[in-house]
Amino acid sequence: MDSGTRNSSVRSARRLAARASGLAVVAALAVGLTPSVAAAAPRRPSDTQIANAQAQADAVQARIGELSGQLTAAQDAVEGARVDALIALDQYQATEASYVAAQAEADAAAAAAAQAAAELDVARTQVVSFARRSYMEGSTFAGAAALITAADPGEFIQRAALLEAAGSHRSDVLTEVTVLQVQAAEAETLAANTLTAAAVLKDEAATSLATAEAAEASARQQAAALETQQAQLTTDLAAAQAELTALVGQRAAAERAAQIVRPAPAPPANVAPAPSGNGSSAGAGNASKAQIAIDAAMAYIGTPYAWGGGGTRGPGYGHSGDDDVFGFDCSGLTQYAYAQAGISIPRNSSWQYGALPKVSRNDLRPGDLVFWARNTSDPGTIHHVAIWLGGDRILEAPQSGSFIRVTDMRWGGYIGAGRPTG
């Protein structure tokens, strides 16, 4: 978050105190005009009483400010852990794909080796059978009988040539099958080694993914605990402000009754305007098409987030852990929304940012796309996109396990905005 957002809780508390004090003064002045006040002047709290009440409220406010800083850091840690988990998921998917390819290669090599071994067994059986017949016939030449029974010298020569060719072919087949078996065995060994290496990488990626997911869960628990503490401090601050408002109101009523004119209270100090950002490069755009895109996305509020799901044609099934989830991821939703308005934008959030004319923070209009990155000076680290609705509200598909929603704008990690035109 930027520094203005990190101190938003403190500034909001101060503005609340100022508004409450102002309302109390107006109410006290109104009471001061009634006959009862005119008849009996109200008690005027001392400067010490008001100073003590103000100090008490300031102390609680300071504690809220301190806790807000811790909560901001915790929320930043949650976002960082979430991005780490997304990156680890991508890495796991890549190694899983490599493992599947290696498994297919190993299966094919094993099948080829088995086929070569079977063919070699057949060839060897034929050789053994030839040797056995030669032994049983009392000759190492199984075709001798065929030669002896030849009718004439021409038939003898013809039969001898055929028998010699058959013997040579048997020997050639045996040699060829032996070579094929060796090659298939070598291919099977290489494929098995590749599969083993792919399995190791897949296991390492799975471990990294589990570690990243555990870190994200832990960060969310810490942030939730800080939010509970902040809620209690906010209750304490409200009580302290109520006491201060009552004292200020009593003083205002007393001064009114005594016809003492007091200057109007000064506005809260140290409230700086939000930075405006760089100049816009986008034109005015098309408000009607932007509204069509917003309405198209609004129609899917409550639809599940599906990692890698959805696109121009509507929702779809996700990938990896979201295989059985039918919905949109962040950039799938924005691409679909603007497709309904007749405007084509890329599918990926970082590509959407790169393709769109840029819009400064103080020129944001409903329908603009707002982007977040791990490093706000590096568009290559963009990992999320949402639709700006105006009034610091956005429409987004947040993350796995969540649903499309309208929520408050988050300025932490905000890198910029773009305006689809067409």
How far, in Å, CA of 212 to CA of 367, rounded? 33
> Where do we find the tokens 């001898």?
160
DSSP letter string over 268-318?
A: PSS-PPPP--SPP-S----HHHHHHHHHHHHTTTTPBB-TT--BTTB-EE-
The answer to whether 169 is a known catalytic residue is: no
One-letter identity of residue 64:
I
Q: Retrieve residue 129's tokens.
A: 């059978």
φ/ψ (deg, to 5) at 376? -70, -5
How far, in Å, CA of 250 to CA of 25, rounded? 8
Catalytic entry in 188, 255, 330, 383: 330
How far, in Å, CA of 109 to CA of 113, rounded? 6
The answer to whether 396 is a known catalytic residue is: yes
φ/ψ (deg, to 5) at 326? -105, 110
| 358-359: strand order across its sheet | 358-359, 414-418, 369-373, 382-390, 393-396, 405-408
φ/ψ (deg, to 5) at 69? -65, -45
Spatial CB neighbours of 176, under 8 Å, sequence gap ≥ 6:
none
φ/ψ (deg, to 5) at 383? -140, 0
How far, in Å, CA of 57 to CA of 40, rounded? 30
Task: Count other C-beta atoms under 10 Å from residue 306's C-beta.
Answer: 24
Q: Retrieve residue 64's tokens.
A: 């809220």
Active site positions, annotated: 330, 384, 396
